[in-house]
Amino acid sequence: MINKKASFKNSIRIANVSRLLSLLIILTIAFSLTACDVKDNFVQATQQPLRKVKLLLDYIPNTNHTGFFVALYKNYYTAEGLDVEITQSAEGDSLESVASGQMDFGVSFQESVTAAKTASAPRPVKAIAAILQHNTSGFASPTSKNIKRPADFVGKIYGGWGTNIEKEFIKTLMKKDGADPEKVTYLSNNATDIFAAFEKDADFSWIYYGWDGVQAQLRNYPINFIKLQDIDSRLDFYTPLIITNENLINTDPDVIKRFMRATAKGYTDCVNNPADAASYLMKKAPDTNADLAKASQEYLKNEYISDASQWGVMNVERWQTFGKWMFENGLIEKELVAKDAFTNDFLTK
């Protein structure tokens, strides 16, 4: 027999629970509405509305990106009538988001663009400027390992990301130096901290000198650094670079020109005043290591333009040569038509 008092109490409990659940549902809906980014596009009556443009960085903000932040905070973009929204992700490459049209511009790499253009479903992207003129990456190792040349890789452990291109870099370098590439052990440790990796399992790693190399200097951690292009000039590919999608090229090339003009100005400022540039990176990403940022900008001031006539310009030979290298080493299935992959048309002389 169901106790009348108990059932009354239980119906109060049910009512309470129902009320609680209803409250939760209402709160969820209310919060979800505020979660939809209602960006206030408030435009002053005297100004022309700014053209909204979306840029996706390849990674969290670092000194490869400083030119964008300089252009943003010094209002070079607004002077070109652009409202640039800079998004960051830890994805490591912006290519797919730019290809899909979700983003107008992105930071990517020559090896990515080459693979994307020669894939069975080629991506509609094009490289429009090189952020650094020459490849600043190479193989680093603590001096204690005595790896001074590619032949010294023999019998050593490489700590990397497990991609085929890393293996091909090592093979190419070792063959050039007359060593047997089979004698290297490959370890995937996703080593973003090379110092920890060197302590434990890896003997050498692939780094961009501008960040990890500079950090080693700051730490007084002596490393041997073998730059890819020093051993084989075919490996002087453009990295990183800026890409856009072909849809934007066809529908609004003027926006690309304006974006590039302002961005070029930003990167040129990085060359002329690295300390100032560092402050803009810190403004965008205040939690960045300030000392590393400053030292890195100081190193990169010689790399943004380097020996080129202006910032961003690329030459077809380097696209062709590296594309050929990728094809010969089985990294891409079709040969690259370099003219499809990049253009200097959007850089203002």
Partner 1 sequence: MKRLKSIGNKSIPVVFILLILSLLEYLVDSGIIKAFIFPAPSDIGKALIKYAPSIFPHVLSTLYVSLIGLVLGLVVAFVLAILMENISLVHKAIYPLLIISQNIPIIAIAPLIVLVLGFGVAPKIFCVALACFFPVVINLLEGFKSVDLDLINLIRSMGGRKMYILMTVKIPWAIFNLFSGLKIAATYCIATAVIAEWLGGEKGIGVYIMTAKRSYLYDRMYAVIIITALLGIVLVNLISLLQKLTISWKQETK
2 burial class (0-12, 13-18, 19+ CB within 10 angstroms)? exposed
CB of 243 to partner 1, least distance (A): 15
- Cis bond before residue 240 (omega within 30° of 0): yes
10 binds partner 1 (CB under 8 A): yes
33 binds partner 1 (CB under 8 A): no
Q: How far apart are CA 61 and CA 63, in angstroms?
A: 7
Single out the segment in contact with partner 1 by CB under 8 A; choices: 13-21, 227-235, 249-257, 269-277. 13-21
Single out the segment in contact with partner 1 by CB under 8 A; choices: 9-17, 75-83, 119-127, 341-349. 9-17
CA distances from 119 to 3, 5, 8, 104, 332 (A): 73, 73, 69, 21, 7
| Contact yes or no for 304/90 (Cβ under 8 A) | no
Between 185 and 192, name the residue whose CB sits nearer to partner 1: 192
Between 10 and 75, name the residue whose CB sits nearer to partner 1: 10
CA distances from 196 to 115, 160, 169, 191, 220 (A): 31, 13, 23, 8, 15
Single out the segment in contact with partner 1 by CB under 8 A; choices: 26-34, 75-83, 128-136, 228-236. 26-34
- Can you tell me whether residue 48 is helix, strand or coil? coil
Residue matched to tokens 């830890």: 90
Q: How far apart are CA 1 and CA 13, in angstroms?
A: 20
Q: How far apart are CA 263 and CA 272, in angstroms?
A: 14
CB of 205 to partner 1, least distance (A): 14
Residue 107 is which amino acid? V
163 binds partner 1 (CB under 8 A): no
Binds partner 1 by CB under 8 A, chosen from 64, 66, 97, 108: 97
Binds partner 1 by CB under 8 A, chosen from 60, 275, 316, 337: 60
| Contact yes or no for 64/88 (Cβ under 8 A) | no
CB of 320 to partner 1, least distance (A): 29
CB of 139 to partner 1, least distance (A): 20
Q: How far apart are CA 252 and CA 131, in angstroms?
A: 22
Longest pairwise C-alpha distance within the chain: 94
Binds partner 1 by CB under 8 A, chosen from 8, 52, 75, 91: 91
38 binds partner 1 (CB under 8 A): no
Binds partner 1 by CB under 8 A, chosen from 180, 199, 201, 335: 199
| Contact yes or no for 325/235 (Cβ under 8 A) | yes
| Contact yes or no for 257/342 (Cβ under 8 A) | no
Tokens at 242, concatenated: 């800026």
User: Applying CB under 8 A, what is the total number of residues that bind partner 1?
Assistant: 47
Tokens at 91, concatenated: 């994805």
CB of 87 to partner 1, least distance (A): 5
41 binds partner 1 (CB under 8 A): no
Site string for partner 1, 289-328 (x = CB under 8 A): x--x------------------------------------
Which residues are at the interface with partner 1 (CB under 8 A)? 2, 9-11, 13-14, 16-17, 20-21, 24-25, 27-28, 31-32, 35-37, 56, 59-62, 87-91, 96-97, 100, 102, 192-193, 195-196, 199, 211, 215, 219, 285-289, 292
